[in-house]
Each structure stands twice: as C-alpha cells, then as structure tokens.
Structure 1
C-alpha cells in the first residue's frame, strides 16, 4: 500500500512477460484501497436498487395487479431473461481484447438503469385500459403492460452485458483472497438499505399510492440508487492494463469455441450444467408472492413485510457466505445455498400462516444471496485469465437460456395446474443440481493450488 494510488504498471519489453505480470500484480495491491472502495460503493448502491427490481415481490406483484394474469407475469420474467441470452457473449467479444473496459461498463450499466426508469415512467404516464390495435388483428393491448414488458426485455439485455464487464473489472482489481468479504459487506449494507426501503415502499409508497403510483415511486428510488453506484465506480476505480489479452475475434468464431472451452475443464463444464439446473428452478420465483396472496391475501403491509424478510435475510447471510467463501472456497457456499433453497420452498408449500411464510421468505432470500455470490465468484477462478470474459459470458448465457423458458412455462403451469405443481418442478431441478454439485464439481481454488 506504499505506492501512490494513481500508480500504473511499469513498462516492460514485450519479451519480458514475468516483469509485466509483476507490474500488474503491484498495481492491483497499490490501488487496492481505492478500488475496493469503488467496488464497495458501486455494489452497495447498485445492489440496493437492483434488488428492489429483481426481488420476487414488487415487479411480479405489479405486473399481476395491472394485468390480472399469471401468464403475463411469467412472460415479463421470461423477456427479462431472454435479453440476457446473447448479450453476455456480445459483451465479452467487445471487451476481451481491450486493455481497459471501464468505458464499456459505463455504457452498458447506464442503459440498464434507463430501463428501470422506463418502467417507472410507464406506470405514471401510460394508460392501463385496453386499446385495439387493428394491425394485430384487433387485439386488445394494455399500453402500460406492453411498455413495461418492453423495458424488462431492455433491462435483461443490458444486465446480461454488464454482468460480464463488471465481473471482469472486479477480477482485474480485487485479489481472490478479498473478493468474498468485499461482496459480503457491499451486499450486506446494500441489502440492509433495500430491506428497510422495501418495507417502507410497501407500507407507505404502495398502500398510499404515493405520487399517483406507489410502484413507480419505488422504481424511481431504484433508478437513483443504482445510478449513484455507477457514478461512484467511475469516480474511484483505477483499472490496470493486463499483461496479456486475447486477439479480437468475430462473434461467430467465438461461438465455435464454446465446446472446447467446456472440454478444457470437466469440472467447469459440470458447473455450467449445474447453473442451468439451478436457474431452471427459478420457474417458481415470480409466483412465491402471488401464492401468498392466494392463501392469506396481499396488501401493502404484507408485501412490505415479506420483502423485508427476503431482503433482510439476504443482507445478514451475505456476511456469512462471503467470509465462508474466502476461507473454504465457494463450492461449500453453493451447496449450502441450494439446501436452504429446497428447505424454504418446502416450508412455503406446507405451512400457511404469516409467521411460517416470513421464515420461508427469509430462507429464500438467504439462498438466493448465497447462490448468486458463489456462482459469480467461482466462475472467476476456473481456467486462465485471457479466457475469463468468455467464461463469464458462457455461464451468463447458459443461465439465461433456462431462466427464459422457466417463468413463461411456470405462468402457464400455474394457470392450468396450480402453484404446488410449479413449486414441485422447481424442487426437482434443485435436487438434481445439488446432486451434480456434490459428485461432479470440484472446488476450483483447491484444484488450482494442487496444480502448482
């Protein structure tokens, strides 16, 4: 930490790779405090806002309230996920050859935040009464619902791309031994703010229909918080130039590299398959809160209370997951989060009073935080550095493929067969993912140490 914060890697000859690697490593540690703070503020404020949008409470409840259809809720979540199917690969091909990726991060992150603002503005300025569109065969379309579905697609597209860029940025500036605790504290503090805001949003924004639309008010808060986080990252982060990068490749050429990328490390290949199975289990996610409403009713107070449970458990458990991951590696975190996810789903299905549902939503929140932290951090530890952007993209795309169909199918199944069938299918996917993780996925940190 003795070097000045604006130190940059010392120049070295092209034939002196060890010297360039040493300069790169020195830059990381010399600027760690500044970059740690930038990542912390970006993650804390960004996670606060994004949790309000991604939590299985506000947006599904809003879509159901304005459409009255489980299928529309499923369609909205599916569109959000389909946006993330191809965009991570495009994002990776646009940055993997670049020495600096911060400019791309600002564009992708900014457009994702504009989609949140669009959802809010649609609620305020577009009517919800059906209108006839003759060019669609006299279909009746609700402008507000249609616009929100479009902005959810946009949100998914740019969230998929920014996931690659921001994961790469963290890998470039935060050492492996510090990533867990960074995510723990930024997610915990961001989750605490989100949990408190979620409770007040449910009780005082939505019930009071603040400014004419309590949901829109909530999403504007999310937009402001995520934008402040992006500004903090831009102001504070100092990005090093890596000693080596890949040559620029065409999109279709990189698609052809996928099989080889998966074959290079069998454990990584099984890890991607496990991700797809766990993501398929999200078929039930948008229907947790709607199921509660069908059992005990759903007002702003209940919505705020269960949002508090989900986001509060997310907050507290992050501290446990982060430090445990730094100490043991993140495979154990992933295993425990899947077990918690299964137990919380069974509890939600089985016991139908508000106290049990509160505990179930706590379990779901803790499981989601553990899964997301472990999956996003483990992927940074497989393979070599130059292939990291594409490994992140492969995992993001694999998750998005299964996450796209899940909510859409879940909406149809919920309409035809009921919520218990949807939850049962989700449990099946979780059980298979857990088994695969136990028998086929090795801890990459241990494998890396054994290789030396």
Structure 2
C-alpha cells in the first residue's frame, strides 16, 4: 500500500512539474510578445501596407478582369481566370499548414511562399510585354493560377505569424491602419495607373506596367517584415503529421466547435457571392462605357472606400468583436450589388463601387480575424487552412459559373445569384454563429 501511495505521489509531482513548466513557458511566450510588440507591430504594418497596396491592384475587380477581356474578348475567359486563381488556393493552404504547424519558427516558410507569389505577378507583367494573342492568354491564365497557389499557402503562414506576435486586443487596429494607408496608396496608384499607364499604353502595355509596380511594392513589404519581425517559439506545437492524415481529421476539427462550423458555411456562401465580382466592371462598361480613365476612377472609388472604412472596421472589431463587422459588410455588399443593377449613371456607379470596396474590406478583415479566435492555438494553422480551402472551393466554381451564365443569360442573372448567396450567408451568420470574442470573454 505504501509503495502504491509513493508511486501516486511521484506521478502527481511529475504532473505538477510539467504543469508548472508549461505555465512558465506560456508566461515567457507572453512576455516575449509584449516586449517585442513595437518592432513586430511595425514589421506587420509595413508588410501589410506595402503588400496590400500591390495585391489590391491585382485583386481589385477592375484591372485584371478588364485586361483578360481585352486580350481574349470572352466573358468565359474572364471567369476562367478568376476561377483558376481560386483553384490555386484550394489545396495549397492545407499543404502549407502541414509544413508549418509543427515548426517553432515559420518565418523562413513565409519568405519562400511570399516570394513565389510575387514572382507570379512579375510573370503577368512580363507576359504582356513579350507575348500576344493566344499565347498571352494562356500565359496569363498560368500565372494567375500560380498566384492563387502561393497566395493560398501564404495566407496560412502570415495569419499564423500575426497571431503569434500581435495580441488579440491589438489586431483590429493594426489591420485598420495598415489597410487604410495601403489602401490610400493603392487608390492613388489605381487612378494613376488608369490615366497614365493604361490609357496611353505606357511602355507598350499599361497593364504590364501596373503589375510591375504591384510586384515592386509587395516585394518591399516582404523585405521589411523579414528584417523587422522577431518571432517567438510557442510553448506547444502539434507533432508533425502526414498530409493525408490531417485531411482525415477535418470533420473532427469542424465538429468540435459548432460556431466555427457555421462560420465556415458563412464563408463559403459569401465567397460564392463573388460569382458576380469579375463582371461588375464589364457590366458598367456595357451600361456607361469604361475606358482606361473610367477603370482607374472606379478602382479609386473601390480602394478609396476600402481605405477609409478600414479604420472603422478595425476599431469596431477590437471593441465589439468581428461578428458585427461581418454582418454590416454583408449588408453593404448587398446594397452595392442592388445599386449596380438599378442605377446606370456615373455618380451612382462610383458610389456603388465605393460601397462595394468598403464592404469587401470589412468582410476580409472580419473573416480573417475571427478565424484566429476559434478553438486551440495548436490547431490554428489547420483551422486557417480549412477556411481558406473551403473559401477557395466555392470561389473557384463561382467566377467560372458566372462567366458561363453571363454568356448565356446576361449579367443581371449573375447579380441575382450573388444576392441569393449573400442573403443565405447573412441569415446563418445572425442566427447560428456565436462571436468567438464573446466566448473568450466568458
């Protein structure tokens, strides 16, 4: 009996020592985060500001769809291009997560994935200068696919990095200021690109010149992050697992948090609503005309509203949680689509693109920040990957289906389908998704 008691006492002592050691490592981790917050905040700010400036020029629903249509003359090619970008993000987030979730330092992987994504933008620029006709179309589609592949993996890595070095109470305002300043620069560049790059066909191809600028800006952002960021080693990490084994764990990962499961459904419906996004500028071109200056002006409206609204979204999210931001964003997205359907004059179209820019920026900030707040820290890389993959699956089919529908039935039907997805996402968000910030506060 005494031997058994001694064994139990020994086990209890070991467990207590392990608990104390873990608590000490958690405290050291937290201290490292706060001690290096100013440096890491600046690094994330510069990376986000410069990176998003360049990426927004590529991702805005104006330049790339208009360029694809200009070189192909086909709504189907426009839809295919945007679908390929999303297809690239279907598997790569999961692959990226399996490569980093067991690592204590993930910055080296971030540099590789980020650099490859930026090279895809450079490829789009060079293709426009050195190719024409069908070879140009196929080259653009290839680089758009590669851009999606590396952006999908990058999304997991950089989201994880932010969650490691920026406390939850500071994430909203960081995103607010980096998106606001980056959006301001992007909005000005969009106007400059439309008027001075695309309209006069600067250097033989105004779109290529625009994409080259995007490449340089995003590269500067990655360089700043690499120099400034000091990454802590987390107290715990998941053991390394094979890709297929982690795939089998997806149902359990989703089922263990009901709110996250419904949030995932909202993400999929909202990205399905992007079925109409590539065709906004083409619809406007048919209604009122869209030369280079008009495209630049509407991109300015889109990115300018994105810039101004980010300050509101960031501080509102930090104060109330990001479910409210997501809800308002879905409402604004719906209003913008209805405006484009019903008002066909310059001022109304400009206002619609502004509302759309503000709404999509709110959606992106809310969805990417809320995902960091569900579940455990060790499962965070794979949770980000699941959401990114789920979004990419629906976003892949959306533009492709939208292109076919636009060719057969016209843009109005595409817009109505988008409104249906937005309505479904709104209902599920309001009725079934609990704000994880509220759960953390309990």
TM-score range, shorter chain: over 0.9
Match of 2:286 among 280, 291, 294: 294
Match of 1:24 among 26, 29, 52: 29
For 1:392, the equivalent position in structure 2 comes to 384
* Deviation >2 Å, runs of 4+: 12-15
User: How does the TM-score come out when normalised to structure 1?
Assistant: 0.94
Q: Does 1:90 align with 2:90?
A: no
| Unmatched tracts of structure 2, length 5 or more | 1-16
For 1:7, the equivalent position in structure 2 comes to none
For 1:144, the equivalent position in structure 2 comes to 136
User: 2: distance between equivalents of 1:34 and 1:80?
Assistant: 33
Compute the displacement of 1:300 (Å): 1.1
Deviations 1:74-107 (A, max 9, x none): 0000000000000000000000000000000000
For 2:409, the equivalent position in structure 1 comes to 417
User: 2: distance between equivalents of 1:15 and 1:231?
Assistant: 39
For 1:363, the equivalent position in structure 2 comes to 355
| Unmatched tracts of structure 1, length 5 or more | 1-11, 129-141
User: 2: distance between equivalents of 1:252 and 1:449?
Assistant: 35
Q: Does 1:78 align with 2:70?
A: no
Q: Does 1:191 align with 2:196?
A: no
Deviations 1:410-451 (A, max 9, x none): 00000000000000000000000000000000000101222x
For 1:138, the equivalent position in structure 2 comes to none
User: 2: distance between equivalents of 1:164 and 1:51?
Assistant: 18
For 2:259, the equivalent position in structure 1 comes to 267
Which of these two proteins has the greater Rg computed from alpha carbons?
Answer: 2
For 1:326, the equivalent position in structure 2 comes to 318
User: 2: distance between equivalents of 1:108 and 1:164?
Assistant: 10
Compute the displacement of 1:276 (Å): 0.1
Deviations 1:256-304 (A, max 9, x none): 1000001100000000000000000000000000000001111111111
User: 1: distance between equivalents of 2:66 and 2:132?
Assistant: 18
Q: Does 1:103 align with 2:91?
A: no
Compute the displacement of 1:127 (Å): 2.1
Compute the displacement of 1:220 (Å): 0.2
User: How does the TM-score come out when normalised to structure 2?
Assistant: 0.96
SS in 2 for 1:298: coil
User: 2: distance between equivalents of 1:398 and 1:257?
Assistant: 15
For 1:60, the equivalent position in structure 2 comes to 65
Match of 1:241 among 200, 222, 233: 233
Structure with the higher helix share, 1 or 2: 2
Match of 1:381 among 358, 373, 378: 373
Aligned length: 426
For 2:439, the equivalent position in structure 1 comes to 447
For 1:175, the equivalent position in structure 2 comes to 167
Larger displacement relative to structure 2 (441-450 or 24-33): 441-450
Aligned pairs for 1:8-23 (under 5 A) are 16-23=21-28
SS in 2 for 1:383: coil
Q: Does 1:349 align with 2:354?
A: no
For 2:11, the equivalent position in structure 1 comes to none
After superposition, the CA RMSD in angstroms is 0.9
Compute the displacement of 1:15 (Å): 6.3
SS in 2 for 1:216: helix
Compute the displacement of 1:207 (Å): 0.5
Deviations 1:38-69 (A, max 9, x none): 00000000000000000000000000000000
SS in 1 for 2:378: helix
Compute the displacement of 1:13 (Å): 7.6
For 2:399, the equivalent position in structure 1 comes to 407
Deviations 1:369-405 (A, max 9, x none): 0000000000000001000000000000000000000
User: 1: distance between equivalents of 2:42 and 2:439?
Assistant: 30
Match of 2:210 among 206, 218, 241: 218
For 2:13, the equivalent position in structure 1 comes to none
Match of 1:121 among 123, 126, 130: 126
Match of 2:220 among 228, 237, 240: 228
SS in 2 for 1:386: coil
